[in-house]
Amino acid sequence: MKNPKMEQYRYFLKDTIRKHIDFSKTDQNRGIDPPPVEKPFADDAVIIELPKPNAFENIPGINLSDAIKNRKSRRAYLNKPITLDELSFLLWATQGIRHKIDRGHAYRTVPSAGCRHALETYLCVLNIEGLHAGVYRYLPLKHLLLFEFTEDRLKEKIVEAAFSQPYPGKAAVTFVWTAVPYRMEWRYDLAAHKVIAIDAGHVCQNLYLACEAISAGTCAIGAYDQEAIDRLLRIDGIDEFTVYLAPVGKVKKDKEGLN
Ligand SMILES: Cc1cc2nc3c(=O)[nH]c(=O)nc-3n(C[C@H](O)[C@H](O)[C@H](O)COP(=O)(O)O)c2cc1C
């Protein structure tokens, strides 16, 4: 390898870093309390109830192998709303909590290195039944939605933030996953960042599969304007920043479930 820069970036994908970390000095091993599993919010925040995960009566059960077989990146969405039931299902499938262990640990519907779950889920809502357009955040601990703010030209801004890829502008909602890296660094120090990226993949794959159950589709977006999307979410871009996006909308399916 003659390109040192390339070597440096490839290094990120390796686990060699682990051999150079003194794990006795991580914040976890120095006895520092774990950060909370969910980003805190103000007492007077506007909270929206979501249909509870044990009450997804309106979500049809589908065969898992069909969901895996039919899954694909879908970029053409119908101009139809997604219901709150359906949104609740998608949030549960991607980041829902199975079992809370203590203040700093909770098992979710997706795996995460060291059970650290360093991701937060924001929603740019354009067309969800019963919700005003705006930016929301999922609160997995109680399976609630937090209303963050309304935004002028939200549709245009989310498209701009996706480097003018048009799909988020046609979607009913765009999932935006941010990383709160300290949650992972607390345990893994410099070995935290690769596993945060791997974790995000599990989350998005569950979104793809869950969409198959509700005649919706999604498309992972990894090419986006970092500063623009962080600005749109009003996060600092340092201790929390965007890592992945996925617009979701209803799709037309032919008789084999494909479109
Ligand atoms: C990490 C990642 C980033 C991606 N980024 C984009 C993107 O920015 N824009 C886009 O249109 N598709 C994006 N995709 C979707 C891929 O293009 C798609 O998965 C690939 O072409 C294979 O098609 P399939 O998902 O239908 O099997 C991304 C997929 C992944 C996994």
Residue-wise pLDDT tens digits, 207-224: 999 999 999 999 999 999
Ligand 1 center to 184 CA (angstroms): 26
- pLDDT, residue 66, reads 95
Q: Is the pLDDT of residue 254 over 80?
A: no
- Residue 103: pLDDT band (50, 70, 90) is confident
For residues 248 and 253, give the distance between their C-alpha atoms in angstroms, rounded to a whole number.
Answer: 15
- pLDDT, residue 248, reads 98
- Residue 258: pLDDT band (50, 70, 90) is low
Q: Is the pLDDT of residue 166 over 60?
A: yes
Q: Is the pLDDT of residue 1 over 90?
A: no
Q: Is the pLDDT of residue 256 over 70?
A: no
Ligand 1 center to 20 CA (angstroms): 34
For residues 247 and 259, give the distance between their C-alpha atoms in angstroms, rounded to a whole number.
Answer: 16
Mean pLDDT, residues 16-38 taken together: 97
Mean per-residue pLDDT over the chain, rounded:
96
Q: Is the pLDDT of residue 257 over 80?
A: no
Beta carbons within 8 Å of 181's beta carbon, 6+ residues apart: 118, 192, 193, 196, 239
| Ligand 1: residue whose CA is nearest its atom 10 | 221
Mean pLDDT, residues 101-127 taken together: 96
- Residue 57: pLDDT band (50, 70, 90) is confident
Token pair 């003194």 is found at: 22
Three-state DSSP at 180 gives coil
Structure-token pair, residue 67: 């969901």
- pLDDT, residue 21, reads 97
Residues near ligand 1 (Cβ within 6 A): 72-73, 165, 219-223
